[in-house]
Structure 1
Amino acid sequence: MKILIVSVLASFFFCEASNSFNRVIELTDRFLEVKGDSQWLVMFYAPWCGHCRKMEPVFMQTAQSLANTPVRVGKLDCTRFTSVASELGIKGFPTVLFLKGDEVFTFSRDRTREELVDFARRLSGPPVKFIDSCTDMQVALQDEKLFFVYVGERKGDLWLAFETSAKHLQDHLMFFAIEMDCLKWHLKEAKSPAVAVFKEGGNIVMPPIGLDGGVNETVQQWILAEQFEDFVRITYGNLPLLLKTGKILVLVVVDEDKVGTLTHEMDTFKRDLEAVMRKNQEEFREKVQFGWLASPEIGNSIAITTLPLPCILAVNSSSYQYFLPEKESSILDQEEIVEFVRAILDFSLVPQGGRSYSTHFQRTVFEASVSLGQMWRGNPVLTSVLFGLPLGFLSLICYSIFCGDIMEARDDDEDQLIDDEFHEKKE
């Protein structure tokens, strides 16, 4: 019996200690005094924020995943501690920051546990992680889906450019440095020093830098161009980074259901585009990034129209201009898709859209109308109240401003007419 009681108490204590250890710390205005003493992943929220409430369980899971790391996880109510929010420049909710020393990094990817954990894990270490043994390199090859590596002696312009790029992009990408001996079987054609990217079970070595190009700019632009897998799922979180690749984005626009699955037609269409990418990888790799949009709202916003599904949409990441096939996308075969991409690359197709003021205005109006339509379909009564009452008050104000003088003038005319009639009778 004593053994049972001791076991129960020990289990209870362990659970309590574990929960205490894994919990998200509720921070106060004293956070500004202690934030430099440790590494912090902090969610800044407001109690009335629906997105904050939705993110809270994800953030709790993130805290549990980071329990055995040097990263401390906390959250702060910006409506109570406004001085902290003002000091750190918090302008929207929820905002997630990683703080270490005087450095502050803002989380801008999708709000999932995996993305948050990877974000904290990358920033908790140095910008470039040094691999001292070939065994550690094998571990990195197994654990990391995509990473960049510098191979060779850590000195010279190439190393400095790689290190600078790592500092700028640490919150998005993983960077390693290692001696050539551990990678000679993987990078058979590379000469030390070299920069390479490992992704999807293979690797790509950065081409030699020409004499007319700056080393820093060339290395960073190459890293930005190669930072994604060959066929990537595009979301609001990674779209800003995709627009920095300088490539043509060739996307298949589909619509996932609530459980994240596609209809047979859309899945087949998506696989066809992926097959095109695999077969023509060498031809298109340097200039084209293939991917798929699970949220048609992104594609509709780019094209400023409601696209038919499934659909192929190509976007110039530099100018934000877009291209659509002349034929209906759903009836295109693989060869026609290849010809469509080639026509974009040789400037045979006329682009649409872009970033001009008129296009931006059209896009703003379109997105506003779409949002209003979604609100109406979701809750027509509330939408009527939200927009009906302000419009009613505005109408009354306009009426009093523009029609009040007319009524007063009419009254004056009537008074004058009565006075004239009175004088005529008197005479």
Structure 2
Amino acid sequence: EYEDGALSSWINRERFQGYLNVDGFTLYELGDTGKLVAIAVIDDKNSSVEHTRLKSIIQEVARDYRDHFHRDFQFGHMDGNDYINTLLMDDLTVPTIVVLNTSNQQYFLPDRHIENTEDLVQFINNILDGTAEAQGGDGLLQRIKRIIYDAKSTVASVFKSSPLLGCFLFGLPLGVISIMCYGICTADTDGGIYEHETAKKENGDRELTDEGSEEEQEEEKDGKYTELPDGELKQKDIMEKKKD
């Protein structure tokens, strides 16, 4: 029996050196250790004082403070920020220090510029005692943010590599959808106009029919009076006046 758990867990924690050149695959493998990963994100091709100094600081902490932090931290440096930006969905400036918690996708950034080993040690101690602010995570909002970020990255990469292909892939579906929406809207409008004109035409025909019927009745009445002899016509007029 081991103080820190099973033998396999101890092997996972101890199978890496105290300081590594970290890349995407190495970072994935470090997830099995259960340790926080402190990384100096630098440009190996940049020989400026700022880049070399930050790399020296994290190497010094990994070496001189091994007994303090080796149980909980893995140290290393990464060349460039492309992979780390994709992982964190953030745009980190180079050079910088970032500490990753691979178990829950959280990360920590220093609240001030790291000038020496004391600043880095203080930053690590703040993480251990819980006073450092954690960012990221694997909650629902972060998952939604990840979906949106991946979609935007995919679209941007397609247009960057092949603009014509990007226009075809994304422009064609948008064009078809726009035509369908336009067709639906114009079909409803034309249908309404057609129904209105039809109803108006039917009302006009009905009015003409009514007027024609009245005219026919007048003509029939006049015709009946004309067909009667003069004596009968006068007698009929007298009868109508008496009725009135």
Quickly name the TM-score band, shorter chain normalised.
Answer: 0.7 to 0.9
Aligned to 1:194: none
Aligned equivalents of 1:341, 1:380: Cα separation in 2:
45
For each residue in 1:54-104, what CA deviation from the matched residue of structure 2 results, as whole angstroms up to 9, or x when unmatched? xxxxxxxxxxxxxxxxxxxxxxxxxxxxxxxxxxxxxxxxxxxxxxxxxxx
Query: 1:251 is matched by which residue type in structure 2?
Result: I
For each residue in 1:168-194, what CA deviation from the matched residue of structure 2 results, as whole angstroms up to 9, or x when unmatched? xxxxxxxxxxxxxxxxxxxxxxxxxxx
Q: TM-score, normalised by structure 2?
A: 0.74
* DSSP-derived class of the 1:232 partner: strand
Q: 1:403-418 maps to which residues of 2 (within 5 A)?
A: 404-418=187-201
Change (3 A) 1:262 1:209: same
* DSSP-derived class of the 1:312 partner: strand
The answer for unaligned runs of 5 or more in structure 2 is 212-244
Residue 327 of structure 1 deviates from its aligned partner by 1.9
Aligned to 2:178: 395
For each residue in 1:279-314, what CA deviation from the matched residue of structure 2 results, as whole angstroms up to 9, or x when unmatched? 212211110011222242332233322111112111
* Alignment partner of 1:384 is 2:167: yes
Residue 233 of structure 1 deviates from its aligned partner by 2.3
Residue 386 of structure 1 deviates from its aligned partner by 2.0
Aligned to 2:2: 209
Residue 359 of structure 1 deviates from its aligned partner by 0.6
Residue 245 of structure 1 deviates from its aligned partner by 1.1
The answer for unaligned runs of 5 or more in structure 1 is 1-207
Q: 1:235-314 maps to which residues of 2 (within 5 A)?
A: 235-255=23-43, 261-264=45-48, 265-314=50-99
Q: 1:110-149 maps to which residues of 2 (within 5 A)?
A: none
Aligned equivalents of 2:139, 2:189: Cα separation in 1:
43
1:235/1:295 contact within 8 Å kept: no
Residue 325 of structure 1 deviates from its aligned partner by 1.0
Structure with more helix by fraction: 2
* DSSP-derived class of the 2:91 partner: coil
Aligned equivalents of 1:263, 1:414: Cα separation in 2:
81
Aligned equivalents of 2:2, 2:124: Cα separation in 1:
28
Aligned equivalents of 2:30, 2:69: Cα separation in 1:
16
Aligned equivalents of 2:43, 2:93: Cα separation in 1:
10
**Identity, % of aligned pairs?**
28
Residue 255 of structure 1 deviates from its aligned partner by 4.4
2:80/2:94 contact within 8 Å kept: no
Aligned equivalents of 1:413, 1:263: Cα separation in 2:
79
Change (3 A) 1:315 1:410: farther
* DSSP-derived class of the 1:250 partner: strand
Query: 1:356 is matched by which residue type in structure 2?
Result: G
Query: 1:341 is matched by which residue type in structure 2?
Result: I
Aligned to 2:158: 375
1:319/1:354 contact within 8 Å kept: yes
Residue 373 of structure 1 deviates from its aligned partner by 2.5
Q: 1:26-425 maps to which residues of 2 (within 5 A)?
A: 209-210=2-3, 218-255=6-43, 261-264=45-48, 265-328=50-113, 332-401=115-184, 404-424=187-207
1:247/1:287 contact within 8 Å kept: yes
Aligned residues: 209
Bigger Rg over Cα: 2
Query: 1:299 is matched by which residue type in structure 2?
Result: I
Aligned equivalents of 1:423, 1:253: Cα separation in 2:
86
1:299/1:313 contact within 8 Å kept: no
For each residue in 1:24-76, what CA deviation from the matched residue of structure 2 results, as whole angstroms up to 9, or x when unmatched? xxxxxxxxxxxxxxxxxxxxxxxxxxxxxxxxxxxxxxxxxxxxxxxxxxxxx
Query: 2:78 is matched by which residue type in structure 1?
Result: L
Aligned to 1:5: none
Change (3 A) 1:406 1:221: farther
Aligned to 2:236: none
Runs of 4+ in structure 1 deviating by more than 6 angstroms, as ranges, are: none
* Greater RCO, 1 or 2 (C-alpha within 8 Å, sep 6+): 2
C-alpha RMSD over aligned residues: 2.6
2:39/2:99 contact within 8 Å kept: yes
Q: TM-score, normalised by structure 1?
A: 0.44
